[in-house]
């Protein structure tokens, strides 16, 4: 385990001061630790603990092609002890030898990490691919989860349809000449519009190759397709509805109004999970990067209701 106080002189944490200013946080930055959990098969899951060493009240799982640092602005605004994990194949977590990043493959690794770092039940928030993974974690290990929050994804999603733009953004171009070129592409694909925030995210999620070109650090950018998009089934995640219906705990869907969920998908969620809460927030699919203060305020209310 490596540990560091949040400081702009630490390369990994160099954007935290700017993130804090962006979300209007005053006072000292929280203590942040880089942690890692052994999850079997010689692999490790890495993550960031905010307000360490306090036990996390909240665990967060990012979407495909992102990493734990994408939640930094939200967590700086939120101000609660939290653990943001790098999904397998992302950030500083190990890549899977089989390159299989479907939610059911990720859930057991995530469960092992939560078990090691969160001794009491948590609010589990998952965005996009992380949301589907979070649903399976809650179903398999309900003793770990107090409240499930799913951000801008449902099991009814069609990877080649509703989420097709996300897949094309990640796999459609493999290398770039500059950060600015990647930011231009992100704006074009509706990933966000704040160029400063996008540049920060790109810097924390790319590396420079020996030939000088930039490439993504996550494994998905080196594969031919995203999880589920190569399936003959247009809705490969539909079995996860069963996992959600099995849960005896509060469930909240946070929908991004300019995200990937259309009215049909939201209506299906409402029909299948009538007791679940639905909250709509203005913003694109990556709400935690584009609207961190708004998402933090929403999540704070959810966490505090469960304490």
The residues annotated with a catalytic role in the active site are: 128, 152, 285
Q: Give SS3 for 251.
A: strand
Give SS3 for 146: strand
Side-chain-side CA neighbours of residue 25 (13 Å) = 23
Kindly calculate the radius of gyration of the chain based on its CA atoms and give it in whole angstroms: 18
Q: Which helix H or strand E contains 255, and what residues bound it?
A: strand 251-258
Identify the CA nearest to 168 among candidates 188, 147, 140: 188
User: Token pair 């589907």 is at which residue?
Assistant: 132
| Beta carbons within 8 Å of 191's beta carbon, 6+ residues apart | 169, 198, 284, 285, 286
SS3 31: strand
Closest CA to 81 of 46, 53, 45, 115: 53
Between CA 299 and CA 226, with CA 256 as vertex, the angle to 5 degrees is 105
Phi/psi at 269 (nearest 5 deg)? -60, -45
């Amino acid at each position: 385990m490596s540990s560091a106080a949040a400081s702009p002189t630490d390369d990994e944490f160099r954007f935290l001061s700017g993130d804090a200013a962006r979300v209007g946080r005053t006072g000292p930055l929280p203590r942040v630790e880089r942690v890692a959990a052994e999850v079997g098969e010689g692999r490790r899951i890495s993550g960031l603990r905010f307000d360490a060493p306090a036990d996390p009240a909240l665990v967060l799982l990012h979407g495909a092609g992102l990493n734990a640092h994408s939640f930094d602005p939200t967590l700086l605004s939120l101000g609660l002890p939290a653990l943001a994990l790098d999904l397998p194949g992302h950030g500083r977590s190990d890549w899977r030898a089989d390159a299989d990043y479907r939610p059911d493959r990720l859930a057991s690794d995530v469960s092992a990490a939560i078990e090691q770092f969160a001794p009491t039940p948590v609010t589990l928030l998952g965005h996009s691919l992380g949301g589907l993974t979070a649903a399976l974690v809650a179903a398999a290990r309900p003793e770990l989860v107090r409240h499930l929050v799913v951000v801008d994804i449902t099991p009814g999603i069609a990877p080649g349809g509703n989420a097709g733009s996300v897949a094309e953004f990640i796999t459609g171009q493999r290398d770039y000449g500059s950060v600015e070129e990647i930011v231009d592409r992100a704006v074009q694909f509706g990933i966000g519009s704040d160029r400063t925030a996008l540049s920060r995210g790109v810097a924390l999620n790319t590396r420079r190759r020996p030939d000088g070109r930039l490439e993504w650090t996550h494994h998905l950018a080196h594969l031919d397709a995203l999880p589920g998009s190569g399936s003959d089934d247009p809705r490969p995640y539909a079995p996860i509805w069963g996992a959600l219906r099995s849960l005896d705990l509060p469930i909240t869907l946070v929908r991004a109004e300019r995200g990937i969920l259309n009215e049909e998908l939201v209506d299906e969620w409402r029909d299948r999970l009538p007791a679940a809460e639905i909250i709509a927030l203005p913003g694109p699919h990556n709400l935690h990067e584009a609207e961190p203060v708004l998402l933090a305020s929403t999540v704070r209310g959810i966490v505090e209701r469960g304490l």
